[in-house]
Amino acid sequence: MRTVLTTPISTKIAQLTLCLALGALAGVGLTDASSAMERNRCKQLTASHRVLTLPSFWGQVTHCIDRRYL
C-alpha cells in the first residue's frame, strides 16, 4: 500500500501544476461566458444601459450598467 508520504515529489509537482492550469482555464472560461451574457443582455437594453468593459485578473470583464450610474 502506497501512502502520500512515499509519492515522488515530481508526481506531486505535476499534479499541482495540472490543478492550477485547469483552475486558470476554468476562471478564464467563466469570465468570458459571463461577459458574453452581459453583452447580449445589454443589446436588449440599449436605451437605458451601457456596456462597460474593465480589466481584471482573468482578462477583460464586461458589465451592463444603467446610464444613471455613469
pLDDT band with cut points at 50, 70 and 90 for residue 46: confident
The predicted structure's pLDDT at residue 2: 59
CA distances from 14 to 21, 28, 33, 58 (A): 11, 21, 28, 23
The predicted structure's pLDDT at residue 49: 92
Mean pLDDT score of the chain: 90
Say if residue 52 is exposed, middle or buried (CB neighbours under 10 Å; 0-12, 13-18, 19+).
middle
User: Taking 90 as the threshold, does the pLDDT of residue 20 lie above it?
Assistant: yes
